[in-house]
Amino acid sequence: MTQPVRVRFAPSPTGPLHIGGVRTALYNYLFARKHGGKFLLRIEDTDQKRYVPGAESYILRTLEWLGLSYDEGPNVGGDFGPYRQSERSALYRKYAEQLVQSGKAYYAFDTPDELDAMRAKLQQAKAASTSYTSAVRLQMKNSLSFSPADTDAWLQSGKPYVIRLKVDPGEEIVFRDLIRDEVRFVTDLLDDKVLIKADGLPTYHLANVVDDHLMQISHVIRGEEWLPSTAHHVLLYRAFGWEATMPVFAHLPLILKPNGKGKLSKRDGVKFDMPVFPLSWDGASPEESFKGFREYGFYPEAVINFLALLGWHPEDDREVFDLSDLVEAFSLRRVQKSGAIFDYEKAKWFNKQYLLRKTPEELARELEPLAAAKNYDVSGDYLKQVAVLMQPRVDFVKDILEDGYYFFEEVKTYDRKAVKKRWKPEKQALLDELADVLEGVDRFLARYIEPAVKAWMEQRELGPGAVFPLVRLALTGSLKGPGVFETMEVLTQYVTVRRLREAGSKLNPIPESVS
């Protein structure tokens, strides 16, 4: 690449950052780092009606949590600032007026009611388009249909007006997309997009093009939903005479619902009980509040890894990549055109891979505040022991305490089906006998417990199926869990023996707390 790579992530602070936006940020970051370029953050906050307080800081916290550092942006500066569009308003007005003077744009004075009437008339006539196009512009109120004197009078009157792009019919727009190859549009049905709104602020289309040009953006990597708008953006580059420095476009595929039917939405998080935002968001109402990946218990590295493969495929069969690996392997030419299905189970699988990489010491440190929140008064060494046993069996660190709660408190629930199938009151005598054996083990470690128990089983001619399910029920309330002997060691001799001896009182009859 001869031109230095400069890419931007340009979110609007209108609410929490959807996971699709995070993937866009990630791909921009990876592309910039892969090619030794710059990754910019630009806040596109010109839509004041949709602006949500706190959304910008949410975006910044998200990028920080994910480790996606940017080279230029609102809080780090740079040579092309300011990086909030609300701080660049005068700039957009200047460039819009430049287009009017060159005949590429015009003033439009139509009221909302007049625009509605136009659309209704076109709809009734079954016109090919109901938009403000070249076919209707001379029938509307604008500087193309008004005399210069009437136009000046309107502008001087203080009445509201907008500036529209003048789209000439009969032209073809062709550009190359790095993901979709050659893309073509014809201008006949393209509307004369508003560039400056009645409130004086620019629309996305004008501000986006002006900023990308002035910030010397080399590649625009964004979601597929912006592909139709690119036709107008190309026309703006032509109108300004910037076509030679127009960025290369790459439009990313949609992220689809888990069932593959339609674009993933924030409501799908509630529907499928999964996060669709990186961090939690406290909205104005419960319906607008959402739990994020972080709060579900995901590691940021796992979220990055999961998102990277949601639409991009590496050249080999690897699935687990840290950020530096992704930078080395990433290529836009291996991004798919079709939508990528959001597979939450796969996301949990990725988190498990990163959890399995943790040392017992690291897990113990992560567990300490979680254990304290549950009022578990245990040592770091004890947490390490539990972590070693539970680590292969959980997807999230918090599950170590939740699934393995019986290491910290008494058994609260019992597997009803297992109890019905395995337990009879006369079995208590067998557990009492085993408790006697265990009381005789001098060093209560798994490597000494196992031979003592197996010797007793051999003497009594008992198979594993006659003993271990009962032991598991007594110790954990379930037939699942870590190895029996390792569980006994961590529980300690006292607790193990006591739970075996008290099993009957817990299970005769089957308690109401059995789940």
* Residues assigned a catalytic role: 266
The residues, any chain, with a CB within 8 Å of residue 68's CB and separated by 6 or more, are 25, 26, 29, 39
Please, what sign has the CA dihedral across residues 24, 30, 33, 35? negative
Burial class (CB in 10 A: 0-12, 13-18, 19+), 346: middle
Q: How far is CA 225 from CA 222, 246, 277, in A?
A: 8, 20, 19
Residues 183, 175: Cα–Cα separation, whole Å: 6
CB-CB contact of 65 with 279 (8 Å): yes
Tokens of 515: 């789940």
Question: Cα separation of 30 and 489, whole Å?
Answer: 47
101 is written with which tokens?
Answer: 């003077």
How many CB atoms are closer than 10 A to CB 333? 8
φ, ψ of residue 242 in degrees (nearest 5): -105, 15
**Eight-class DSSP state of 7:** E
Tokens matching residue 9: 């992530």
User: How many Cβ atoms are within 10 Å of 90's Cβ, its own excluded?
Assistant: 8
How far is the C-alpha of 196 from the C-alpha of 199, rounded, in Å? 8
Element spanning 20, H or E: helix 19-34
Q: What is the DSSP letter of 5?
A: P
Q: Which of these, 481, 504, 319, lies nearest to 426 by C-alpha position?
A: 504
Distance in angstroms (rounded) separating the CA atoms of residues 3 and 244? 12
> Do the Cβ atoms of 209 and 237 come closer than 8 Å?
yes
Checking DSSP bridges between strand 194-196 and strand 6-9, what pairing results, if any? unpaired
DSSP 419-433: HHHH--GGGHHHHHH
Query: Which of 300, 309, 219, 292 minimizes the C-alpha distance to 255?
Result: 309
Give me the amino acid identity at 114.
Answer: E
Type and span of the H or E element at 418: helix 416-422
Contact present, 481 and 393 (Cβ < 8 Å) = yes
Whether the CB-CB separation of 481 and 407 falls below 8 Å is answered with no
* Helical (H) or strand (E) element with 219: strand 219-223
